[in-house]
């Protein structure tokens, strides 16, 4: 923690960029529309690319740049499913960027987080998107602990908390909707069975 606070004092510009990224990363799970979530996530990527660049963590810079480009493509994915194939081009780019900027375990963690985010952005289903992007945050948490990024660590913890809460709410809403739909189907089936039953002869 002392190292993280010292970095803020030494490079306040990095702290400001990290704060902007933290706000975006904490905010994206709060929105419901897929396109809005991804647009806010682009802001997070750009801010943290600047933050990590000022800290000279070049793998994290490259990964955030790639994720920003992916998010731009992902916004159009729902209307243009063929763009899904563009994501396959990001996978070798991810591996190449990791090797070129290799810095040991932090590079592994940044690349793993980016891979999970890449898989998330490929999903048209909002729940899968949320789940995979949420799964990337523990990797970033470990990375930010190693490189001493306090804004990154705070953003990761906020994103995990908010993302998990929103995912749980969505899951509960889905279960309630399914239960309601089942009840409607059961009522309709019972009504149909009653109407198809034997008719009493008229007297």
Residue 70, pLDDT > 90, answer no
Spell out the residues 6+ positions from residue 163 whose beta carbon is closer than 8 angstroms to its own.
29, 130, 133, 134, 137
Q: Tokens standing for 161? A: 């908390």
pTM for the model: 0.75
- The structural domains of the chain, with segments of one domain joined by +, span 2-190
pLDDT of 112 reads: 95
Residue 199, pLDDT > 60, answer no
pLDDT digits (tens, 9 = 90+) for 157-192: 887 888 888 888 877 776 666 656 566 566 666 666
Residue 28, pLDDT > 80, answer no
Helix 105-121 vs helix 86-100: angle between axes, to the nearest 10 degrees?
A: 170
pLDDT digits (tens, 9 = 90+) for 137-156: 999 999 999 998 998 999 88
User: What does the mean pLDDT of the chain come to?
Assistant: 82
**Distance, CA of 195 to CA of 69 (rounded, Å):** 58
Candidates 10, 23, 9; CA nearest to 151 is 23
Angle value at C-alpha 173, between 168 and 176, nearest 5 degrees: 130
Portion of the chain with pLDDT greater than 90, in percent: 33
pLDDT of 127 reads: 82
Confidence of residue 89 (pLDDT cuts 50, 70, 90): confident
pLDDT of 118 reads: 84
pLDDT of 76 reads: 82
pLDDT of 203 reads: 46
**Distance, CA of 144 to CA of 152 (rounded, Å):** 6
């Amino acid at each position: 923690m002392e190292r993280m606070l010292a970095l803020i004092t030494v490079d306040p510009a990095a702290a400001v960029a990290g704060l902007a990224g933290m706000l975006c990363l904490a905010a994206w799970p709060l929105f419901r529309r897929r396109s809005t979530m991804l647009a806010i996530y682009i802001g997070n990527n750009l801010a943290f690319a600047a933050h990590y660049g000022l800290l000279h963590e070049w793998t994290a810079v490259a990964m955030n740049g790639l994720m920003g480009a992916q998010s731009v493509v992902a916004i159009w994915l729902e209307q243009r499913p063929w763009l899904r194939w563009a994501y396959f081009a990001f996978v070798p780019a991810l591996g190449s960027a990791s090797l070129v900027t290799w810095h040991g375990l932090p590079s592994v963690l940044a690349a793993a987080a980016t891979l999970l985010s890449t898989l998330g952005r490929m999903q048209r289903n909002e729940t899968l998107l949320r789940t995979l992007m949420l799964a990337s945050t523990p990797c970033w948490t470990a990375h930010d602990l190693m490189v001493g990024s306090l804004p990154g660590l705070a953003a990761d913890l906020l994103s995990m908390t908010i993302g998990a809460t929103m995912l749980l709410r969505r899951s509960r809403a889905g279960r309630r909707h399914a239960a309601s739909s089942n009840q409607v189907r059961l009522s309709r089936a019972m009504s149909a069975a009653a109407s198809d039953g034997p008719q009493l002869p008229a007297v």
